[in-house]
């Protein structure tokens, strides 16, 4: 049986094109591994595959979750494993593609089952957030569990609170729970590929792609999304480009300023993603070209060793 193919990389690196090519070469079906593309109503701004791309191969977990829902890593892992099993039962190859490092770690390293958090502890952690802000929560998380904290985005309120809550509630670090966990995908059952283009060239593509998003209707999409008046702390509300465009629509920021801020945030996020994959998945195979045809040739070379 052909192993699962995992395709990871920073935003705008060309993951969709490679996943589609792999699906056609391996008789595969594509599973989303991006924490923002899973939400409905944000196709353009999150660069989800368009209708023509989705028609080329079966796609799963794209735009399937209401943005009013907090969809956790554990929720994704359960859903992804269910899809992997179903795809394999059909005799086809699961291809997981995205830029969310925690998703890939959960799949290949495991996600520890943690006991329910005592409500009093959760209230205490919320009090810390209220009095000391997110920086205070992160400082406490670093003190309690530096291993887990460095694997979380500094602005990820939900996961930083989780690290603090687990340590306070169980007396164990979340990273210690992770260490006791077996990976859902065994070694040899998957092949990992990271897209790792030259940074400045990727930044230029990010800028260009955001302009194309705007030309394709991103502002109207975000306006319709903002009309739902969701809790600003929900994960979907923090999708790249969404906060500055909402600020622009409210008259709180000029359009040019909002666009530049969205591009800057995207570049910074891409830099963090590249650092993550370099540190967490140094042994995965690399595709380094941003040129589509050259990247596809690099992929084809890798896949010759995957096909069985």
Instruction: Say if residue 37 is in the same domain as residue 68.
Output: yes
Contact 34, 13 (CB under 8 A): no
262 and 298, same domain (yes or no): yes
Assess whether 47 and 129 both reside in one domain: no
**173 and 136 in one domain?**
yes
In 3D space, the residue among 2, 1, 13, 51 whose CA is nearest the CA of residue 205 turns out to be 13
CATH number of the domain at 164, please: 1.10.20.140
Q: Do 133 and 17 have their domain in common?
A: no
CATH code, domain with 206: 3.40.50.300
Query: Do 100 and 134 belong together in one domain?
Result: no
pLDDT for 175 equals: 83
Of 140, 160, 179, at which residue does a domain stop? 179
How many structural domains does the chain have? 2
- The residue from 140, 158, 179 where one domain ends is 179
pLDDT of residue 307: 65
The whole domain housing 224 covers 4-110+182-304
Q: What is the pLDDT along the chain (308 residues), one digit of tens a residue?
A: 679 999 999 999 999 999 999 999 999 999 999 999 999 999 999 999 999 999 999 999 999 999 999 898 889 999 999 999 999 999 999 999 999 999 999 999 888 777 788 899 999 999 999 999 999 999 999 999 999 898 888 888 888 999 999 999 989 898 887 777 788 999 889 999 999 999 999 999 999 999 999 999 999 999 999 999 999 989 999 999 999 999 999 999 999 999 999 999 999 999 999 999 999 999 999 999 999 999 999 999 999 887 65
Task: Pick the last residue of a domain from 179, 197, 218.
Answer: 179
193 and 138 co-located in one domain: no
Residues 162 and 54 in one domain: no
Which residues, at least 6 apart from 1, have a Cβ–Cβ distance to it below 8 Å?
Answer: 88, 308
| DSSP 8-state code for residue 115 | P
Q: Does 28 share its domain with 57?
A: yes
| Statement to judge: residues 265 and 282 lie in one domain | yes
What integer pLDDT is reported at residue 308 of this predicted model? 53
- Running DSSP on this structure, what letter comes out for residue 3? P
Torsion region of 16: left, alpha or beta (phi above 0 gives left; psi -120 to 50 gives alpha): alpha
Nearest CA-CA partner of 35 in 100, 126, 112: 100
Are residues 209 and 157 both part of a single domain?
no
CA 106/CA 177 separation, integer angstroms: 12
Q: Are 11 and 75 members of one domain?
A: yes
pTM: 0.85
Residues 241, 239: Cα–Cα separation, whole Å: 6
- SS3 state at 56: coil
């Amino acid at each position: 049986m052909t192993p699962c193919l995992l395709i990871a990389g920073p935003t705008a690196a060309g993951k969709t094109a490679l996943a589609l090519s792999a699906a056609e070469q391996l008789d595969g079906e594509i599973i989303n591994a991006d924490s923002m593309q899973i939400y409905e109503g944000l196709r353009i701004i999150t660069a989800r595959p368009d209708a023509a791309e989705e028609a080329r191969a079966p796609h799963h977990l794209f735009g399937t979750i209401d943005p009013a829902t907090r969809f956790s890593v554990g929720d994704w892992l359960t859903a992804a494993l269910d899809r992997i099993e179903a795809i394999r039962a059909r005799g086809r190859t699961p291809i997981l593609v995205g830029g969310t490092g925690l998703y890939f770690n959960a799949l290949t390293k495991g996600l520890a089952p943690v006991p329910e958090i005592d409500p009093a502890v959760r209230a205490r952690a919320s009090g810390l957030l209220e009095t000391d802000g997110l920086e205070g929560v992160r400082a406490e998380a670093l003190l309690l569990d530096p291993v887990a904290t460095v694997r979380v985005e500094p602005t990820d309120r939900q996961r930083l609170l989780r690290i603090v809550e687990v340590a306070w509630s169980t007396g164990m670090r979340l990273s210690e729970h992770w260490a006791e966990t077996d990976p859902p995908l065994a070694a040899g059952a998957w092949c990992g590929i990271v897209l790792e283009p030259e940074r400045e060239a990727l930044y230029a593509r990010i800028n260009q792609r955001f302009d194309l998003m705007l030309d394709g209707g991103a502002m109207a999409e975000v306006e319709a999304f903002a009309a739902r008046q969701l809790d600003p702390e929900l994960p979907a509300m923090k999708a790249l480009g969404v906060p500055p465009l909402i600020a622009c629509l409210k008259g709180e920021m000029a359009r040019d300023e909002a666009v530049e801020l969205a591009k800057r945030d995207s570049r910074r996020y891409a830099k963090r993603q590249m650092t993550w994959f370099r540190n967490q998945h140094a042994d995965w195979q690399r595709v380094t070209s941003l040129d589509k045809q050259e990247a596809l040739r690099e992929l084809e070379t890798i896949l010759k060793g995957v096909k069985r």
